[in-house]
Amino acid sequence: MESGQIFFAGAPLPHTLFKDRYLIISKIGAGGFGSVYKAIDTQDSDRLVAIKEVSLQGLHPQVMLEATNTFQREVSLLSLLDHTNLPHLYAYFQDPERWYLVMDFIEGETLEEYQSNLPSKRLQLSETLDIGLQLCTVLEYLHTQHPPIIFRDLKPANIMRTSTGKLYLIDFGIARYFKHGQVKDTIALGSPGYAAPEQYGKAQTTPQADIYSLGAVLHQLLTARDPSETPFRFLPLRPKSAQSASDPGSLTTSMVDVLIDKLETLITSMLAMDISSRPLDIAPVRHELHAISVLWSDICKGYWRPKLGYSHTAHKA
């Protein structure tokens, strides 16, 4: 991996060759500290890449330190990781006022964008279960590193989805290694609504913080309720009156009730305020989601689908 060189150049411009290697196609995004560009690596089989720029121009010294730490944290983590649901880091370099990461270009949209474009704003149960299983797989990979890596900012905006439904975790800016013996995190970081209570400086974040965030994501996908609007408050997946409403007493409906109850119990445990009440690690979460997915597949053979979430009227109430 190309790394660490200092060079002098302006910001990337469309249709120019950046660093004598990367043909810039367009700017595809902008964030708090810089921009992201789509480019072609002319020295590696014309591979499509994303170039993430961190600009230090005009920043207050404290903010500059924060941006630098964010960049270095992302480099140190991604350079060691190799997983199908993570972007590959190919190179990183800097000039006096900017830092750059060269990574896989992921063709798609964030899970946040995908959900917002759905007519009902809610995902089908089968798709949500698949998303949950993919996220469990990559979180389990991170959590079983030595030492464990805690992502700390799992939310739909930090999950890329391709047209085939494959997911990628993006933005490792606040991820960190778990430090045995440390009482709490140095600073409180995370996104309101998705961040576990301990991420507010009350304790050190553990893999169970990512389990909480995954629970918040799954709840949002199924109910279309944004957890950032009411942090730490999650309604049931469906109104109690909706239970068995389709065909009371039928075997299929009873199976659906069992399935939704199992899913409700799992997500509620993941969202427990008390760390000790959450699953100890991501493996039992993955196992339970798989069991629910198998049950749902069997139920689908009966062509019955439960209605999750709330009606517009109930949502307003």
CB of 235 closer than 8 Å to CB of 242: no
CB of 185 closer than 8 Å to CB of 163: no
Domain finish residue from 104, 125, 156: 104
Average confidence score pLDDT of the chain: 85
Residues 85 and 233 in one domain: no
Instruction: Count CB-CB contacts under 10 A for residue 52.
Output: 24
Tokens 């207050």 map to which residue? 60
Residues 79 and 164 in one domain: no
Q: Is the pLDDT of residue 59 over 50?
A: yes
Q: Is the pLDDT of residue 184 over 50?
A: no
Residues 124 and 40 in one domain: no
Instruction: Count CB-CB contacts under 10 A for residue 271.
Output: 22
Residues 193 and 310 in one domain: yes
Domain membership of residue 167 as a residue range: 109-316
Residues 100 and 118 in one domain: no
CATH number assigned to the domain comprising residue 6: 3.30.200.20
Dmax (CA) for the chain in angstroms is 73
Q: Is the pLDDT of residue 313 over 80?
A: no
Q: In terms of C-beta distances under 8 Å and separation of at least 24 residues, what long-range contacts does 283-292 make, across chains too?
A: 283/140, 285/132, 285/136, 285/211, 285/214, 286/133, 286/136, 286/137, 286/140, 288/262, 289/129, 289/132, 289/133, 289/136, 290/133, 291/262, 292/129, 292/259, 292/262, 292/263, 292/266
Domain finish residue from 56, 86, 104: 104
Q: What is the pTM of this model?
A: 0.85
Whether 257 sits among the annotated catalytic residues: the reply is: no
Question: What mean pLDDT comes out for the span 18-41?
Answer: 90
Q: Is the pLDDT of residue 187 over 50?
A: no
What's the pLDDT tens digit per position in 146-173? Answer: 999 999 999 999 999 999 999 999 987 7
Residues 14 and 131 in one domain: no
What is the share, in percent, of the chain residues with pLDDT greater than 90? 59
Eight-state DSSP code of residue 96: T
Q: Which of 41, 46, 82, 153 is catalytic?
A: 153
Could you tell me which of 37, 44, 39 has the C-alpha nearest to residue 1?
44
Q: Is the pLDDT of residue 193 over 50?
A: yes
What's the pLDDT tens digit per position in 257-284? Answer: 889 999 999 999 999 999 999 999 999 9
Q: Is the pLDDT of residue 79 over 50?
A: yes
CATH number assigned to the domain comprising residue 190: 1.10.510.10
Residues 68 and 118 in one domain: no
